[in-house]
Amino acid sequence: MTEPARHDHAARRTRLAEQLGAVGLDALLVTGLANLRYLTGFTGSAGRLLARADGHHLFVTDGRYRDQVAAEVADLPRRITRTDAWLDDVVGDAERIGLEAHLVPWATARSLEQRLAPAEVVPAEPLVEHLRARKDEAEIDALERACAITARTWEALLDWIEPGVTERAVAQWAERTMVELGADGSAFTPTVASGPNGARPHHKDGRRTLASGDLITVDMGARVDGYCADMTRLVALGDPGGELRAVVDAVADAQQAAVAAVASGVAARDVDAAARDRLTEAGYGEAFVHGTGHGVGLELHEAPRLGTTSDATLAARMAVTVEPGAYLPDVGGARIEDLVVVTHDGCRVLTTPDRSLAVR
């Protein structure tokens, strides 16, 4: 097996520093945990990075992470403290300091404003999230490994699943199998939606027992090296009946149309439209109640969104899902989801298992 590609956190911080200069910020106080992991490798649950446009950064956390931060963030100046007094020493000549406005509580923002005066504290755009949307080599490598484990788990699940087990047992079996195959864990609690529960896109209840004739939607993903896989496939225990087979065919057709629409330079909403138009033609426009996809990385849902109101444009090395579905109340539903990496002329599908309905 080849060694995983190494995360180049310093290169990511350099790109952020360039961004700070471009938007007229002297510094950004980074507090989002996924952003901290992306920029430094820190995997703890509390920390801050003062990232400066001049490249002089400082990482701060508390005593619980003393050893961990020395190992994970060895290449940055660090401080261990529980108060905000450190800011007085390091802010220096910074005049405009950005906060991650979408992540910082209002009370924290007010207190930082007072602490940092006379420097101006301003709400910053999701700058790190914008950088995170386009994956580097190490990130794509981690996503590939997460998707490979998810694929092997799905293939094993098809041999294991049978009438008489509960939805929850299927979800727990999948989570356990992903860990046994080398995942850090499950990226999210799997959705196992059988029979009429298939009409609920994020069904998690789990109490229903699988029966012959059920169509089952399984949405799951492994987490590897912090990165999330996200894949949805369908299995039927015998014949699910003509009405649901028609739904499956329409969703499969829409999903393939949307995957075919993905390429660098394409508007995200056009990928959504590719799926939505097909489902509308098939009579399921009203039954498609969510967007077509989302970015995936350190977080399960991140930039860009692929929906009717998205203003994002796809770019090479973005990792996005393509997951149209159709949901018929009291009848059931279906969704098929792939995780793809955008390329110059199309995309590369990381979730390789057969998309057609598996019948057991």
Cα 317 from chain centroid (whole Å): 14
CB of 11 to Zn ion, least distance (A): 28
Q: Are 273 and 333 in contact (CB under 8 A)?
A: no
Toward Zn ion, which CB reaches closer, 119 or 339? Answer: 339
Here's the x/- map for Zn ion, 322-351, by CB under 5 A: it reads as ---------------x--------------
CB of 296 to Zn ion, least distance (A): 7
Distance CA 97, CA 112 (A): 10
Here's the x/- map for Zn ion, 9-38, by CB under 5 A: it reads as ------------------------------
Cα distances from 282 to residues 150, 277, 336, in angstroms, run 31, 9, 16
Toward Zn ion, which CB reaches closer, 27 or 357? Answer: 357
Give residues 217-276 in contact with Zn ion (rule: CB under 5 A).
Answer: 219, 230
Cα distances from 14 to residues 50, 128, 131, 325, in angstroms, run 13, 12, 11, 40
Toward Zn ion, which CB reaches closer, 16 or 224? Answer: 224
The two structure tokens encoding residue 42? 């820190």
Total residues binding Zn ion (CB under 5 A): 4
Give residues 285-324 in contact with Zn ion (rule: CB under 5 A).
Answer: 321
CB of 133 to Zn ion, least distance (A): 15
Toward Zn ion, which CB reaches closer, 124 or 298? Answer: 298
Toward Zn ion, which CB reaches closer, 190 or 226? Answer: 190
CB of 323 to Zn ion, least distance (A): 5
- What ranges make up the beta strands (E) of the chain? 27-30, 48-52, 58-61, 78-80, 96-100, 120-124, 185-186, 191-194, 215-220, 222-224, 227-228, 231-236, 293-295, 302-306, 319-322, 325-328, 332-335, 338-342, 347-349, 358-359
**Site residues for Zn ion per CB under 5 A:** 219, 230, 321, 337
